[in-house]
Amino acid sequence: MNIYNRSSLISFYERHPDSKTSIERWYHDVAAAKWKKPNDVVRDYNTARPIGNSRVVFKISHNDYRLVAEINYIKGWLFIKFIGTHQQYDKVDAEIVDMFKSKKK
């Protein structure tokens, strides 16, 4: 998969150093994946949860953190839409959240 927003992962684990190993492992595993459908994701990550809007929720660092990604299976693209603590995740709508979208002024 082509993963977009890697800089957001680095920025996150710089603020949450305990997540670095899990995030880097996730990144390298996903970059090597060739998922064609949501069941492929669940096959590789049995704790991943496909939701609406072509998105999947991943548990990071034994569920201390959550990562929401939108996946275009045809093109092999994965866009990170959210990464945060479990408490922060509970406050967002995972199907529409896009914490990295630039805000227009």
pLDDT at 62 over 50: yes
% of the chain beyond a pLDDT of 90: 89
Buried b or exposed e, range 6-18, using 16+ CB within 10 angstroms: eeebeebbeebee
Read off the pLDDT of residues 35-45 as tens digits, 9 standing for 90 and up: 999 999 999 99
- Separation of alpha carbons 51 and 93, rounded Å: 11
Rounded-to-integer distance, Cα 79 and Cα 55, Å: 9
Q: What is residue 102's predicted lDDT score, i.e. its pLDDT?
A: 65
Helix (H) or strand (E) holding 4: strand 2-4
Look at residue 105 and tell me whether its pLDDT is greater than 50.
no
Whether 98 shows a pLDDT value over 50: the answer reads yes
